[in-house]
Chains A and B, each alone.
Chain A
Amino acid sequence: MPSINEKITEEIRKLASSLLDSGTVAAFLGFTKGTLPGRMQPFVARKPEDAQKLHWNSFCVVNLANYLPALLKSFEPPRRPNDPPPEGPLPKVGVLATGCWSRNMVVQIQENQIDRDRVVIVGISSRGMVDRKKLLEKVGGREITSIDEDDHSLTVTGQGFEEKINRWDVVRDNCQTCVHPDPVIYDELIGELGGERKIPDRFRQVDEIEALSIDERWSWFQNEISSCIRCYACRNACPLCYCPTCFVDDSRPQWVGKSIDKVDTALFHILRAYHCAGRCTDCGSCESVCPMGIRMRLFTKKLQKDVLELYDFEPGLDLETPLPLSTYRMDDPQDFILTHIKKGEEK
């Protein structure tokens, strides 16, 4: 009996092929297997026969929404900055979307980065993607030569070892704490919806840090980012980091130095996270692609927690609710305003 992922892979191929064949879409964005076990890479199928290369498993960690604007743009005729938009309908693109990716697409639609009419969103309820670092840890850091997966376990083999690992144990933190695994917008659905998940302590990781003293938190933060090599993989993998000139690359003004000085690194991480405030859907791409294992998701998760707490908002759940930093309420909380001095602080 085929596994869930095998069934999904089959359905993806069938659907992509028919969308391409009928000319509904000019391209279909999914994943194909990478060169290493447990590495998937984004793949664009442009012909019906390409669809056979599409694949789905627990290692699809990169948010496909990241590639969508550029892919859409590639189908537009070239034009100069002030030329009128091309007339007539432009080619569409099909794309796979789990819960967090679809929410991310919602944000991008709200921010005019994706034209909803030009995408055929193929929704897949996410069962959680695997954290390769957790997996490596399970096998003691030994080199993995192949991974076989069924619905609830992974069989990992390498030079002189084969281990069966409980899949959920190595699922990414963001997926483990995800409450919206289902796509929020889609045109086609593959598999079944899993429904909202109840996670009472979805912000547990943030709560733990908040419980630390101010100095401990600073040490934690310093320690967390100390290995950063400023490669910007986190930024590049993030679909929300779409500025043509990122603040880290700007020289007028120079917000952040380009060195790996700890202050510059800290400012980079603070601002990167802050720029995602009220927008980040916790897809985990940033963390998944970090070569140094920095858990920068904790930063965005903190902001996500505060946005929910202060403004009762979660990004990407619908197209209508305005993003929290471009709206306000007269009675927004303002405990932080001086003269409302916080308890316990003035010890």
Chain B
Amino acid sequence: MSTPKGSVLVVGGGIAGVQAALDLADSGFYVHLVEKSSAIGGSMSQLDKTFPTNDCSACILSPKLVEAGRHLNINLLTLSEVLDVSGEPGNFTVRVKQNPRYVDPNKCIACGTCAQKCPKKVPNEFDLGLGKRKAIYLRYPQAVPLKYAIDPKACIYLNKPGRCGFCQKVCPTGAINFDEKPKELSLEVGTIILALGFKPFDPTSLDFTGYGKLNNVVTSMEFERLLSPSGPCMGHLERPSDKKEPKKIAWLQCIGSRDINRACHGYCSSVCCMYAIKQAVIAKEHAQSGDLASSIFYMDMRTHGKGFEAYYERAKEQGIEFHRARVHTVLPAENDNLTLRYTDTKGNVHEEEFELVVLSVGLETDPGVMKLCHELGIQLDQDNFISTTPFAPVATNRQGIYVCGAVCEPKDIPQSVMEASAAACKAQELLSKARWTETKKKEFPPERNVYAEPPRVGVFVCSCGINIASVVDVKEVTEYAKTLPGVVFAQNNLFTCSQDTINQMAEIIKRERLNRVVVASCTPRTHEPLFQETLREAGINKFLFEMANIRDQDSWVHQNWPEKATEKAKDLVRMAVAKVLGDEPLPYNQLPVTKKALVIGAGVAGMVSALSLADQGFPVCLVERKDRLGGHARKFFRTWQGQPMQEYLEELTKRIEDHPLVEIELGATVEEVSGSVGQFKTRLSNGKDVEHGVAIVAVGAESYKPRTGKWNYLYGKNPNVFTLLELDQRFIKADKALSGLNQAVFIHCVGSRVPERPYCSRVCCTHAIDQALKLKELNPDMDIFMLYRDIRTYGKREHLYQEAREKGIIFIRYDLEHLPVASEEDGNIVIEVEDQIIGERIRLHPDILVLASGVRPRDDVGELSKLFKCAMTQEGFLLEAHMKLRPVDFATDGVYLAGLCHYPKPVEETIAQAQAAASRAAMILSKDAVPAESITAQVNPMKCTGCGVCTRVCAYHAVAIDQNSGKAAVDTGLCKGCGACVAGCRSDAITLRNLGNEQLMAEVEAAMEG
């Protein structure tokens, strides 16, 4: 390969595409992000809330979109599509067609006058046609870029020139250009990432649902829009027929999924169970009368992700009804209501009336995407998803072209984000030589020296759509802000975080010569960085900024006290103003980066991460507590798609062992960690010290062995009782005896989904069914019984389940009240289980009993997490920084996680996560220095007595008594700004910059002034 290009093409502006673009742009590559619609954000921007944290989707997504929209190294190409690709990996040429917006983005200020005047109304595709928009429109209120676009199919002028053209007349900036023509661009890129997303299944063809004929039957995506505050009914739940709030809603699962006959989709869409529960929970919250009855009709409840099972249990407690039943007909009833006819597990037929029916539609590939793949020579699988293999989960059949997100299998947001980073990682491996060759550098204007200026505070009060404005009187708060000392400007915004408002804010800062800014909106935890950068762009130091949290901590928690919430908002604004007055400009500190990674754990996850970083040219120290590489995977027979695990492992181990940049420390554990991102220093149990810039924790997990208790099932007592991995051992050894078996019984969920281990282990259903199929392969006449609670063969794994049933494997459901019972008769195993369909007890006499026991966290993970200051879940898995959008980062900078220590997952997901961790780590390693804490402790030597309290309470050894002066001195590189020293100091001699006692007191005192 000749010198590769230093830029990457990402196709698709959904969350996956945006994440891949951000990862690459932050680690030295120039990214072209192609999106077919007029704004990025994809399907996630249409969602109301996200499971399992109930985070507002737009709220967590928005900062990322804005970041991508503003990123110097991301070239956003909206209304664009890829025509073709030529060339080879490292040097592709891509032809892109950019359709006209008819609005000049450099002139449009998104004032909306054009849309007001536009006479043409068409169904709004963002609201799936539930609402209307004009022919000139914004895709959604927080759209990035926040620029209007004209829909050429709807526009009167474009279809009949000379007829309308009102928008052009009223546009205050002259941004409308009807003469704009499509453009063709030719881009030279090194690699291509396809993040083409999915399309919700259209249930019109499914007659039994009544969709398209009955008004009050909606799809789940439509229901998201009904719930959304930016949707057609402003977040006040209304049903389509009569705009009344429904009191009884049913969700029908598996519409367009797990259905070969009617929908032609054999796969499971993986996310619908969780989103249905989420919608039921959120709908209950929305319901103003508070008496909403929600029922979910399902086949298997698939809550197989991190935190999902607990969410499911909580939903049950909240009174959401779950019916294990497939609805066969939705019939019209009186008052636009709907009657569902369904059969329960006992075979009884029921009829029940509902006021609204939500179809939990599955995910499928858009025909346009299929066409594009065909043109690019990208291979699709039987379900029309892009084909990948378990050991290369983000690689397509065409070298140099990678894939991520729901276009290769239905999946949830964190999984898509993980794959996006993984795809970015693969791109970096290919193009590592070209890093920083095509990027631009961000230059902020010089900062105005504000020391001598009297305070000029600007206050921006956000409505957050209706999130704040429906409770807090934002106009009153804005007017009040104007009266506060130091405030010279205040205004109210609909969405302060929208690109347009942000740009406007920068203008206002310059125009009004503001030297302090307060934003009263949501939480600084998500939005502070965004606003702070705006200050920098406007030429003032970013620390001259405070936020008043009037949404999460006010309007959302005092919905029934609008007046008091308004008073509180004023107090919070006053407090923020009092605080900001004391803020001083702070330096932007930087920490040099040691360009080396420490990877802990040499299982598949650790080895993949290590190899990927080493392939990018970064030295890696790989630490493994055991005396050999391989970890848990050593015990695995094959992937569910049938690839032998041991061959892969052998190859991977060999590559690691031969790699000149990987140093392997076997039989070693981490003893001590000091330092922080960019410059960690770790002592290993073998006495070695490793200096490294980042760390990846991939320490794996254990399989649960039911040695005692009610899940024991003769395990350890009868020689023919195995766990899944123990049976795998016999497959690996090609144990001939297995072919001679007559009967095998598998018990699923052994020790899982119970109060002691309240989570689903995600992998066991698929693993067990694959083993059952392997046994069938060995002896087609073998009788195999699977005793299960819910079969959770999510995604394409569902095909295995179908195959198993086709091959005569018998599935018998049990529940926690009716556990299977094992006993021994003359050394032979006897299993008794109640068949809930026929209502009879069945006795089985298997030759082997296989226990599908789950994955449990390792006991020593806690100590490791403390060393790296990482958090853990209640179950004992490591906790990422954000469940949705930061799935491989820890809250601690420079530390990442991958594999089973995060949550149980199959090998393809482990590999993707390991690659993602490598991508995130490369964001640090690719730089010479990373930003460091600016809010640090500062000593006033005049007051310091040198008593040393500060040195003792500092967990980072950042304060020491200077031998010469006898006074405390702070190493700002080590200081994390916690303030323990400040509170410990009796002499008030040490303070935290911009968080000093005086400032906090001013804030407290301001709170009391109202």
Contact = CB atoms under 8 A, between A and B. Distances in A.
- A and B in direct contact, judged by CB atoms within 8 A: yes
Interface of A: 81-85, 111-113, 242-245, 247, 250, 252-253, 255, 275, 322-323, 325-327
Contact of B966 (A112, A252, A253): A112
Interface stretch (B62-70, B523-531, B867-875, B945-953): B945-953
B949 A113 contact: no
Given A85-B964, A245-B942, A253-B998, A111 B984 contact: no
Size band of the interface chain B makes with A: 20 to 34
A288 B942 CA distance: 31
A250 B948 contact: no
B965 interface: yes
A243 B947 CA distance: 10
B988 interface: yes
A145 B860 CA distance: 75
Interface in B945-981: 945-949, 952-953, 961, 963-967
A83 B964 contact: yes
A105 B83 CA distance: 83
B998 A252 contact: yes
B942 A244 contact: yes
B995 to A, nearest CB: 13
Contacts of A250: 988
A112 B965 contact: no
Contacts of B953: 326
A82 B949 contact: no
B986 interface: yes
Contacts of B941: 81
A68 to B, nearest CB: 14
Contacts of A84: 963-964
Contact of B964 (A82, A113, A253): A82
Given A111-B945, A326-B984, 4 more contacts: A82-B964, A85-B966, A112-B966, A322-B952
Nearest to A275: B986
A327 B955 CA distance: 11
A343 B942 CA distance: 47
B802 interface: no
B644 to A, nearest CB: 47
Given A253-B998, A326-B984, A243 B945 contact: yes
B1001 interface: yes
Contact of B987 (A244, A322, A326): A244
Contacts of A326: 948-949, 952-953, 984
23 contacts: A81-B967, A82-B964, A84-B963, A85-B964, A111-B947, A112-B945, A112-B946, A112-B948, A112-B966, A113-B947, A242-B945, A243-B986, A243-B987, A243-B989, A245-B943, A247-B986, A250-B988, A252-B998, A253-B988, A253-B997, A323-B949, A326-B949, A327-B952
Interface string B981-993: 0001011110000
A85 B963 CA distance: 8
B965 to A, nearest CB: 5
Contacts of B984: 325-326
Contact of A112 (B943, B961, B988, B998): B961
Contacts of B967: 81
A242 B948 CA distance: 13
A244 B944 CA distance: 8
B965 A111 contact: no
A243 B965 contact: no
Contacts of A242: 945
Contacts of A83: 964
A247 B988 contact: yes
Nearest to A110: B948
B943 A111 contact: no
A275 B961 CA distance: 21
Contacts of A111: 945, 947-949
Most buried by A among B948, B986, B987, B1001: B986
Contacts of A247: 986, 988
A245 B948 contact: no
Given A112-B948, A252-B998, A244 B943 contact: yes
Contacts of B998: 252-253
B738 to A, nearest CB: 50
A83 B962 CA distance: 11
A81 B997 CA distance: 25
B523 to A, nearest CB: 23
A275 B984 CA distance: 10
Contacts of B997: 253
A125 B984 CA distance: 34
Interface in B910-968: 941-943, 945-949, 952-953, 961, 963-967
B1005 to A, nearest CB: 10
Contacts of A244: 942-943, 945, 987
- Of residues A112, A253, A255, A275, which shows the largest number of chain B Cβ atoms within 10 Å of its Cβ? A253
Tell me which of A111, A243, A252, A323 has the highest count of chain B C-beta atoms within 10 A of its own C-beta: A243
A244 B946 CA distance: 11
B949 A112 contact: no
B654 to A, nearest CB: 45
A157 to B, nearest CB: 45
Nearest to A241: B986
Nearest to B1005: A253
Contacts of B988: 245, 247, 250, 253, 255
A335 B1001 CA distance: 28
A275 B987 CA distance: 9
A113 to B, nearest CB: 7
Contacts of B945: 111-113, 242-244
A164 B47 CA distance: 92
A248 to B, nearest CB: 11
Nearest to B998: A253
A259 to B, nearest CB: 18
Contacts of B989: 243
A190 to B, nearest CB: 30
Lowest 8 CB-CB distances: which A-B pairs, in order? Answer: A326-B952, A111-B947, A243-B987, A253-B998, A275-B986, A112-B946, A326-B949, A84-B964
Contacts of B949: 111, 323, 325-326
Contacts of A325: 949, 984
Contacts of A112: 945-948, 961, 966
Nearest to A245: B943
Given A247-B988, A275-B986, A326-B953, A82 B965 contact: yes
Contacts of A85: 963-964, 966
Most chain B CB within 10 A, of A111, A323, A325, A326, is at A326
Contacts of A275: 986
Interface in B186-205: none
A82 B984 CA distance: 24
B943 to A, nearest CB: 5
Nearest to B942: A244
A242 B953 CA distance: 20
Nearest to B940: A245
A323 B950 CA distance: 12
Nearest to B950: A326
Nearest to B946: A112
Contacts of B986: 243, 247, 275
A232 to B, nearest CB: 15
A245 B943 CA distance: 6
Contacts of B946: 112-113
Nearest to B996: A253
Nearest to A252: B998
Nearest to A246: B987
A252 B966 CA distance: 23
Nearest to A79: B964
A238 B218 CA distance: 78
A322 B953 CA distance: 11
A253 B947 CA distance: 21
B984 to A, nearest CB: 7
